[in-house]
Amino acid sequence: MPITAIVTGGAGFIASHVADALIARGDRVAVVDDLSSGERERVPDGAEFHRIDIRDAAALRALVSDLRPQAIFHLAAQADVRVSVEDPGRDADVNVRGTAEVLEAARLCDARVVFSSTGGAIYGEVDVIPSPEATPCAAMAPYGVAKLCGEHYLELYNRLYGTRHLILRYGNVYGPRQDPHGEAGVVAIFFGKLVAGETPLVFGDGSQTRDYVYVGDVVRANLAAFDYAGGHTVFNIGTAVETSVNDLLAECQRAAGTDVMPELRPARLGELSRSALDVSLAGRELGWRATTPLGEGLSETLRSIAR
């Protein structure tokens, strides 16, 4: 049965792919985005577009009352870790207050919220890798604290109102449409430099690891989450594989057919040394696992940049 879905942040990287997938299976999709970092061109043709700030409670509630969606895929966020360090107030305003407003709006029509959260950024430096969902959270930047706070609101609503909202904690998502000009998204930044024949920058010694997961796999996780009927609320979404920045750059070089030496810069404040997510719960409960090998995902990403 087709559903009506609101996708917040749908002019952004990941959410525009979620909107694509919903449209492809015949759902009615409304994108909510204030275009603060998103681009109107990313919103798929088949989606309605509403330029709304998620903190604008009245506008959000009016839209939800009108559309009466079954699902709200909540991806709108201040998603830049470094911006959160420079301006924690703004980060909290969008990521905490904005999430609270989305949850309040969802109550008007009993929509199920699937919230995009983060793994590495909320777990912080950890002893156990890959890290399961039960890992104690010790964020190293305001962004992680705000995302965790958004999660707490969501769990509170589940307890208070009996909703069945879900949380997906992503690894480092990469793929077509990621912004190479931003601070986040090392894959897009590396390819941006390599394609332009410029020298890529590596912060620290490049041994820091991340869990790189392809955007198409993350989209499937969102769809599986909406359909989930079990009792769990929080799921890691990644590959469980650690890839160092140096190895990632080597893979990007291979895909782009270049071998430009990187320029090394001092490590950045709050940057984690290691991160990878244990995804066995998502495998068991959602029947989901990442299926796109890194090399394949990188080639697809590069092809989209070259197009």
Ligand X SMILES: NC(=O)c1ccc[n+]([C@@H]2O[C@H](COP(=O)([O-])OP(=O)(O)OC[C@H]3O[C@@H](n4cnc5c(N)ncnc54)[C@H](O)[C@@H]3O)[C@@H](O)[C@H]2O)c1
At residue 49, φ and ψ (nearest 5 deg) are -120, 130
The answer to the question of residue 209 lying near ligand X (CB under 6 A) is no
Q: Which stretch binds ligand X (CB under 6 A): 7-15, 130-138, 269-277, 294-302?
A: 7-15
Please, which residue, 125 or 183, has the CB nearer to ligand X?
183
Asked whether position 36 contacts ligand X by CB under 6 A, the answer is: yes
Identify the bridge partners of residue 50 per DSSP, sorted by sequence position: 32
Region of 287 on the Ramachandran plot (φ > 0 left; ψ -120 to 50 alpha; else beta): left
Q: Where does this chain touch ligand X (CB under 6 A) — which range of 19-27, 126-134, 169-177, 224-232?
A: 169-177
The length of the chain is 307
Site residues (CB under 6 A) for ligand X, limited to 90-149: 94, 98, 116, 118
Can you tell me which of 53, 155, 271, 300 binds ligand X, judged by CB under 6 A? 53
Q: Dihedral sign, CA of 245, 136, 92, 57?
A: positive
Q: Which is nearer to ligand X, 54 or 298 (CB)?
A: 54
Residue count, binding to ligand X (CB under 6 A)? 28
Query: Contact 206/268 with Cβ under 8 angstroms?
Result: no
Question: What region does 124 belong to: left with phi over 0, alpha with psi -120 to 50, or beta?
Answer: left
As annotated, the active-site residues are 143
The identity of residue 97, as a single letter, is: R
Q: How many CA atoms lie within 13 A of 258 on its CB side?
A: 19
Cβ pair 72, 10 in contact under 8 A: no
If binding is defined by CB under 6 A, does position 173 make contact with ligand X?
yes
Angstrom distance (rounded) from CA 192 to CA 292: 21
* CB nearer ligand X, residue 51 or residue 265: 51
| Nearer CB in complex with ligand X: 257/281 | 281
- When asked if residue 84 is in the footprint of ligand X (CB under 6 A), the reply is no
| C-alpha distance across the termini of the chain, in Å | 35
Instruction: Look at residue 178 and give its three-state secondary structure.
Output: coil
Question: In whole angstroms, how close is the CB of 197 to ligand X at the nearest point?
Answer: 26
Residue whose CB is less far from ligand X, 56 or 199 = 56
258 binds ligand X (CB under 6 A): no
- Strand, helix or coil for residue 66: helix
Q: Which of 5, 6, 7, 14 binds ligand X (CB under 6 A)?
A: 14
The answer to whether 79 contacts ligand X (rule: CB under 6 A) is yes
Report if residue 37 touches ligand X, rule: CB under 6 A. yes
Residues that bind ligand X (CB under 6 A): 9, 11-15, 33-38, 53-55, 75-79, 94, 98, 116, 118, 170, 172-173, 184
